Amino acid sequence: MTVIITAPELAEALAGEAPPVLLDVRWQLSLAKAAGAPPFDGRAEHAAGHIPGAVFVDLDRELAGAPGGHGRHPLPDLAEFGAAMRRAGVSASRPVVVYDGGQGWAAARAWWMLRWTGHPDVRVLDGGLPSWTGELASGAAVPDAGDFVPAPDAAGLLDADGAAELARTGVLLDARAGERYRGEVEPVDRVGGHIPGAVSAPTTENVGPDGRFLPAVELKDRFKALGVSSDAPVGVYCGSGVSGAHEVLALAVAGIPAALYVGSWSEWSADPSRPVAVGADPQ
Protein backbone atom coordinates (compact mmCIF):
# COMPACT_ATOMS: atom_id res chain seq x y z
CA MET A 1 0.00 0.00 0.00
CA THR A 2 1.28 3.45 -0.87
CA VAL A 3 1.50 6.06 1.89
CA ILE A 4 1.09 9.20 -0.23
CA ILE A 5 -1.48 10.23 -2.82
CA THR A 6 -1.35 12.88 -5.53
CA ALA A 7 -4.01 15.56 -5.98
CA PRO A 8 -5.37 13.99 -9.21
CA GLU A 9 -5.56 10.60 -7.50
CA LEU A 10 -7.39 12.18 -4.56
CA ALA A 11 -9.88 13.91 -6.86
CA GLU A 12 -10.61 10.58 -8.53
CA ALA A 13 -11.03 8.83 -5.18
CA LEU A 14 -13.39 11.51 -3.85
CA ALA A 15 -15.56 11.14 -6.94
CA GLY A 16 -15.74 7.36 -6.54
CA GLU A 17 -18.36 5.18 -4.89
CA ALA A 18 -16.37 4.80 -1.66
CA PRO A 19 -14.56 8.11 -1.07
CA PRO A 20 -11.96 8.33 1.68
CA VAL A 21 -12.39 10.24 4.91
CA LEU A 22 -10.53 13.51 4.42
CA LEU A 23 -8.77 15.24 7.32
CA ASP A 24 -7.41 18.81 7.23
CA VAL A 25 -4.57 19.20 9.74
CA ARG A 26 -3.28 22.65 8.92
CA TRP A 27 -0.82 23.76 11.62
CA GLN A 28 2.35 25.77 11.96
CA LEU A 29 5.15 25.78 14.51
CA SER A 30 5.00 29.48 15.21
CA LEU A 31 7.00 31.74 17.45
CA ALA A 32 4.73 34.64 16.51
CA LYS A 33 3.27 34.87 19.99
CA ALA A 34 6.66 35.91 21.36
CA ALA A 35 6.79 38.69 18.78
CA GLY A 36 3.30 39.90 19.68
CA ALA A 37 1.63 38.64 16.51
CA PRO A 38 -1.41 36.36 16.67
CA PRO A 39 -0.61 32.66 16.37
CA PHE A 40 -1.58 30.63 13.33
CA ASP A 41 -5.24 29.54 13.46
CA GLY A 42 -5.69 26.32 11.48
CA ARG A 43 -9.39 26.11 12.26
CA ALA A 44 -9.99 29.56 10.80
CA GLU A 45 -7.93 28.66 7.74
CA HIS A 46 -10.04 25.55 7.31
CA ALA A 47 -13.31 27.48 7.60
CA ALA A 48 -12.12 29.97 4.98
CA GLY A 49 -11.42 27.26 2.42
CA HIS A 50 -10.81 23.51 2.40
CA ILE A 51 -11.09 20.53 0.08
CA PRO A 52 -14.79 19.64 0.00
CA GLY A 53 -15.71 17.14 2.70
CA ALA A 54 -12.54 17.63 4.75
CA VAL A 55 -12.89 17.76 8.52
CA PHE A 56 -10.50 19.88 10.57
CA VAL A 57 -8.30 18.09 13.12
CA ASP A 58 -6.39 20.14 15.69
CA LEU A 59 -2.83 18.87 16.04
CA ASP A 60 -2.17 20.52 19.40
CA ARG A 61 -5.42 19.32 21.00
CA GLU A 62 -6.30 16.06 19.22
CA LEU A 63 -3.01 14.63 17.96
CA ALA A 64 -0.97 15.51 21.05
CA GLY A 65 -1.33 15.79 24.79
CA ALA A 66 -0.60 18.85 26.89
CA PRO A 67 3.05 19.99 26.89
CA GLY A 68 5.01 18.81 29.90
CA GLY A 69 7.70 16.43 31.04
CA HIS A 70 7.29 14.24 27.96
CA GLY A 71 7.81 17.08 25.49
CA ARG A 72 5.88 19.76 23.64
CA HIS A 73 3.73 17.34 21.64
CA PRO A 74 3.53 14.14 23.70
CA LEU A 75 1.17 11.33 22.83
CA PRO A 76 -2.48 12.22 23.46
CA ASP A 77 -4.68 10.17 25.74
CA LEU A 78 -5.62 7.32 23.41
CA ALA A 79 -9.27 7.27 24.46
CA GLU A 80 -9.53 10.98 23.68
CA PHE A 81 -7.67 10.51 20.40
CA GLY A 82 -10.04 7.72 19.39
CA ALA A 83 -13.06 9.88 20.23
CA ALA A 84 -11.65 12.74 18.15
CA MET A 85 -11.08 10.46 15.19
CA ARG A 86 -14.61 9.04 15.43
CA ARG A 87 -16.01 12.59 15.55
CA ALA A 88 -14.04 13.27 12.35
CA GLY A 89 -15.71 10.29 10.70
CA VAL A 90 -12.78 7.85 10.83
CA SER A 91 -13.67 4.17 10.60
CA ALA A 92 -11.32 1.21 10.36
CA SER A 93 -13.00 -0.01 7.16
CA ARG A 94 -12.74 3.28 5.26
CA PRO A 95 -9.57 4.81 3.76
CA VAL A 96 -8.27 8.08 5.20
CA VAL A 97 -6.41 10.87 3.41
CA VAL A 98 -4.73 13.62 5.41
CA TYR A 99 -3.44 16.98 4.22
CA ASP A 100 -2.07 20.22 5.64
CA GLY A 101 -0.95 23.58 4.31
CA GLY A 102 1.91 22.12 2.29
CA GLN A 103 4.80 21.59 4.69
CA GLY A 104 3.64 18.05 5.33
CA TRP A 105 4.68 17.84 8.98
CA ALA A 106 1.22 18.06 10.54
CA ALA A 107 -0.33 15.70 8.00
CA ALA A 108 2.47 13.23 8.70
CA ARG A 109 1.79 13.42 12.45
CA ALA A 110 -1.87 12.51 11.79
CA TRP A 111 -0.77 9.74 9.40
CA TRP A 112 1.65 8.36 11.98
CA MET A 113 -0.88 8.50 14.83
CA LEU A 114 -3.51 6.64 12.81
CA ARG A 115 -1.07 4.06 11.46
CA TRP A 116 0.55 3.51 14.88
CA THR A 117 -2.87 2.96 16.44
CA GLY A 118 -3.89 0.40 13.86
CA HIS A 119 -5.69 2.06 10.97
CA PRO A 120 -4.89 -0.04 7.89
CA ASP A 121 -5.24 2.55 5.11
CA VAL A 122 -3.98 6.11 5.62
CA ARG A 123 -2.29 8.31 3.02
CA VAL A 124 -0.95 11.86 2.96
CA LEU A 125 -1.74 14.28 0.13
CA ASP A 126 1.68 14.88 -1.42
CA GLY A 127 2.29 18.63 -1.52
CA GLY A 128 -0.68 19.39 0.72
CA LEU A 129 -3.40 21.89 -0.04
CA PRO A 130 -1.25 23.92 -2.51
CA SER A 131 -1.22 20.87 -4.80
CA TRP A 132 -5.03 20.82 -4.99
CA THR A 133 -6.41 22.54 -8.09
CA GLY A 134 -10.09 21.74 -7.56
CA GLU A 135 -12.75 23.80 -5.87
CA LEU A 136 -12.68 24.67 -2.18
CA ALA A 137 -15.52 24.64 0.32
CA SER A 138 -16.05 27.00 3.26
CA GLY A 139 -17.59 26.52 6.68
CA ALA A 140 -17.26 23.30 8.65
CA ALA A 141 -18.07 19.79 7.50
CA VAL A 142 -20.11 17.63 9.91
CA PRO A 143 -19.41 13.97 9.10
CA ASP A 144 -21.21 10.86 10.22
CA ALA A 145 -19.49 9.41 13.28
CA GLY A 146 -16.87 6.76 12.64
CA ASP A 147 -16.06 3.59 14.57
CA PHE A 148 -12.25 3.69 14.81
CA VAL A 149 -10.82 2.33 18.08
CA PRO A 150 -7.06 2.83 18.61
CA ALA A 151 -4.93 -0.29 19.06
CA PRO A 152 -1.33 0.93 19.31
CA ASP A 153 1.71 -0.99 18.09
CA ALA A 154 4.54 -0.82 20.59
CA ALA A 155 7.07 -1.59 17.85
CA GLY A 156 6.58 1.78 16.16
CA LEU A 157 7.26 3.92 19.23
CA LEU A 158 10.46 4.89 21.03
CA ASP A 159 10.89 6.42 24.47
CA ALA A 160 14.03 8.26 25.60
CA ASP A 161 15.85 5.10 26.71
CA GLY A 162 14.88 3.31 23.52
CA ALA A 163 16.17 6.19 21.41
CA ALA A 164 19.49 6.18 23.30
CA GLU A 165 19.86 2.45 22.76
CA LEU A 166 18.96 2.67 19.07
CA ALA A 167 21.61 5.35 18.57
CA ARG A 168 24.15 2.70 19.66
CA THR A 169 22.69 -0.44 18.09
CA GLY A 170 20.88 0.80 14.98
CA VAL A 171 20.37 4.11 13.18
CA LEU A 172 18.77 7.07 14.93
CA LEU A 173 18.02 9.97 12.57
CA ASP A 174 17.65 13.58 13.78
CA ALA A 175 15.11 15.28 11.51
CA ARG A 176 15.78 18.85 12.69
CA ALA A 177 17.74 21.50 10.83
CA GLY A 178 21.48 20.91 10.83
CA GLU A 179 22.28 23.97 12.92
CA ARG A 180 20.02 22.74 15.72
CA TYR A 181 21.57 19.27 15.55
CA ARG A 182 25.05 20.79 15.82
CA GLY A 183 23.95 22.99 18.74
CA GLU A 184 24.76 26.26 16.96
CA VAL A 185 21.25 27.62 17.62
CA GLU A 186 18.32 26.46 19.72
CA PRO A 187 15.23 28.67 19.40
CA VAL A 188 12.86 26.54 21.48
CA ASP A 189 14.45 24.06 23.88
CA ARG A 190 16.64 24.35 26.97
CA VAL A 191 19.88 23.44 25.24
CA GLY A 192 21.09 22.77 21.71
CA GLY A 193 22.78 19.67 20.35
CA HIS A 194 21.71 16.10 19.69
CA ILE A 195 21.34 12.66 21.21
CA PRO A 196 24.81 11.06 21.20
CA GLY A 197 25.11 8.72 18.24
CA ALA A 198 22.24 10.24 16.27
CA VAL A 199 22.81 11.13 12.61
CA SER A 200 21.76 14.49 11.18
CA ALA A 201 19.05 14.00 8.54
CA PRO A 202 17.01 17.19 8.07
CA THR A 203 13.53 16.29 6.90
CA THR A 204 13.53 19.28 4.55
CA GLU A 205 15.94 17.33 2.33
CA ASN A 206 13.30 14.64 1.68
CA VAL A 207 11.21 16.94 -0.52
CA GLY A 208 11.69 19.04 -3.63
CA PRO A 209 11.08 22.80 -4.03
CA ASP A 210 7.36 22.13 -4.54
CA GLY A 211 7.06 20.41 -1.16
CA ARG A 212 6.44 17.00 -2.72
CA PHE A 213 8.49 13.97 -1.72
CA LEU A 214 11.47 13.01 -3.81
CA PRO A 215 11.03 9.78 -5.80
CA ALA A 216 11.29 6.63 -3.72
CA VAL A 217 14.58 5.59 -5.31
CA GLU A 218 16.17 8.94 -4.45
CA LEU A 219 14.93 8.73 -0.88
CA LYS A 220 16.27 5.20 -0.58
CA ASP A 221 19.68 6.38 -1.80
CA ARG A 222 19.63 9.29 0.62
CA PHE A 223 18.91 7.11 3.63
CA LYS A 224 21.47 4.53 2.51
CA ALA A 225 24.10 7.30 2.48
CA LEU A 226 23.07 8.12 6.06
CA GLY A 227 23.77 4.56 7.16
CA VAL A 228 20.31 3.05 6.88
CA SER A 229 20.30 -0.58 5.75
CA SER A 230 18.13 -3.66 6.07
CA ASP A 231 20.46 -4.97 8.77
CA ALA A 232 19.65 -2.50 11.54
CA PRO A 233 16.51 -0.94 13.03
CA VAL A 234 15.80 2.72 12.29
CA GLY A 235 14.33 5.42 14.52
CA VAL A 236 13.64 9.13 14.10
CA TYR A 237 13.31 12.11 16.40
CA CYS A 238 12.99 15.86 15.92
CA GLY A 239 12.03 18.76 18.19
CA SER A 240 8.71 17.44 19.43
CA GLY A 241 7.58 14.52 17.30
CA VAL A 242 6.03 16.43 14.37
CA SER A 243 8.70 16.88 11.69
CA GLY A 244 10.06 13.51 12.80
CA ALA A 245 6.77 11.93 11.71
CA HIS A 246 7.38 13.45 8.28
CA GLU A 247 10.77 11.70 8.16
CA VAL A 248 9.13 8.41 9.16
CA LEU A 249 6.73 9.00 6.26
CA ALA A 250 9.65 9.67 3.89
CA LEU A 251 11.26 6.43 5.03
CA ALA A 252 7.95 4.64 4.37
CA VAL A 253 7.86 6.10 0.85
CA ALA A 254 11.30 4.51 0.40
CA GLY A 255 9.99 1.21 1.76
CA ILE A 256 11.87 1.45 5.08
CA PRO A 257 10.03 0.91 8.39
CA ALA A 258 11.03 3.22 11.24
CA ALA A 259 9.97 4.02 14.80
CA LEU A 260 9.31 7.52 16.14
CA TYR A 261 10.61 9.00 19.38
CA VAL A 262 7.60 11.22 20.05
CA GLY A 263 9.06 13.10 23.03
CA SER A 264 12.08 13.96 20.85
CA TRP A 265 14.52 16.73 21.73
CA SER A 266 11.94 18.67 23.76
CA GLU A 267 11.77 15.75 26.21
CA TRP A 268 15.41 14.68 26.01
CA SER A 269 16.89 18.15 26.55
CA ALA A 270 14.57 18.95 29.44
CA ASP A 271 16.30 16.29 31.55
CA PRO A 272 19.75 17.60 32.64
CA SER A 273 20.89 14.05 33.41
CA ARG A 274 20.75 13.00 29.75
CA PRO A 275 23.92 13.49 27.70
CA VAL A 276 24.09 16.05 24.90
CA ALA A 277 26.44 15.96 21.93
CA VAL A 278 27.29 19.03 19.86
CA GLY A 279 28.96 19.56 16.50
CA ALA A 280 28.71 17.61 13.26
CA ASP A 281 30.08 14.36 14.71
CA PRO A 282 27.24 12.05 15.89
CA GLN A 283 29.17 11.23 19.06
Helix (H, G, I), strand (E, B) or coil at 200: strand
Q: Quickly list DSSP for 102-171.
A: SS-HHHHHHHHHHHHTT-S-EEEETT-GGG--S--B-S---PPP--------GGGEE-HHHHHHHHHHSE
Name the H helices within the chain: 7-14, 42-48, 59-62, 78-87, 105-116, 160-169, 178-182, 216-225, 243-253, 264-268
Residue 70 backbone class (left: φ over 0; alpha: ψ -120 to 50; beta: rest): alpha
Instruction: State how far the Cα of 189 lies from the Cα of 128, in Å rounded to an integer.
Output: 28
Catalytic residue check, 260: no
Judge contact between 146 and 94, C-beta under 8 A. yes
Q: Would you tell me how many other CB atoms lie within 10 Å of the CB of residue 204?
A: 15
Active-site residue, from 238, 251, 254, 262? 238
Annotated catalytic sites, by residue? Answer: 238
